[in-house]
Amino acid sequence: MGTGARQIELGMLGAFATVARQWGATPLAGRIAESAGLAIEDSEIRLIYVLGARTTQLSPADVAAQLGVTRPALSKSLSRLRAANLIESAVSVEDRRSVYVSLTEAGRAAYVTLVGVGLDLVSAASDGLSQADLALIHSFLARFASGLGGPDPVEFPEHAR
């Protein structure tokens, strides 16, 4: 690999580190929650994203694994979101010992708003890029995320599932 390619990869690594830091940083996430009219902790945006994009019922343990957090840390967030009427819990019909977490109607509306705000950020950053450029970036990011291990990248539907 040539020196030019190596420099590009180093720049990409720096950009990834910055995106990871900034996406979860309090000022940005706080602005996102605030602009969506939500009085929630910045770290809880990802929780709403995961619950809105879910394709199966999720237990608190499933959600913790998706987010890469401990169950005690998740428990606090679940309590805050439950108090804000954004999530609800239901006991499994098949196994009364199991509990599943899902978004309420207000939580589904919050999901749609948060996805819209996130899309606005992506759109602003990708202004001027062609559809082919965007498809290439998407493909690369999916491949990169897959190489990191952990769960597959979340596929966001327009409306919460």
Q: Is residue 83 part of a domain?
A: no
Q: Is residue 32 in a domain?
A: yes
| pLDDT value, residue 106 | 95
pLDDT score, position 104? 96
pLDDT of residue 28: 60
Taking each continuous run of H as one helix and of E as one strand, the counts in the chain are 7, 2
pLDDT at 102 (0 to 100)? 95
The tokens for 73 are 């840390």
pLDDT of residue 23: 67
Give pLDDT, residue 30.
60
Identify the segments of the chain with pLDDT beneath 50: none
DSSP per-residue letters across 31-82: HHHHHTT--S-TTHHHHHHHHHH-SS-B-HHHHHHHHT--HHHHHHHHHHHH
In a domain, 10, yes or no: yes
**Percentage of the chain lying above the pLDDT 70 cut:** 91
pTM (two decimals)? 0.82
The per-residue pLDDT for 45 is: 87
Q: How far is CA 143 from CA 58, 66, 148, 153, in A?
A: 25, 18, 9, 9
* 133 inside domain: yes
Give me the phi and psi of 104, to 5 degrees please: -80, 180
User: Which one-letter amino acid corresponds to residue 138?
Assistant: H
Q: Is 152 within a domain?
A: no
Answer yes or no: are the C-beta atoms of 54 and 100 closer than 8 Å: no
Q: By the 8 A CB rule, do 52 and 103 touch? A: yes
Query: What per-residue confidence (pLDDT) applies to 148?
Result: 81
In a domain, 25, yes or no: yes
In a domain, 115, yes or no: yes
Return the bridge partners of 102, or none: 88
Q: Does a structural domain hold residue 141?
A: yes
Helices 44-53 and 71-83 pack at an angle, to 10 degrees, of 80
Per the structure, the complete domain to which residue 22 belongs is given by 3-53+102-147
Total structural domains in the chain? 1
Backbone CA torsion sign across 160, 20, 124, 117: positive
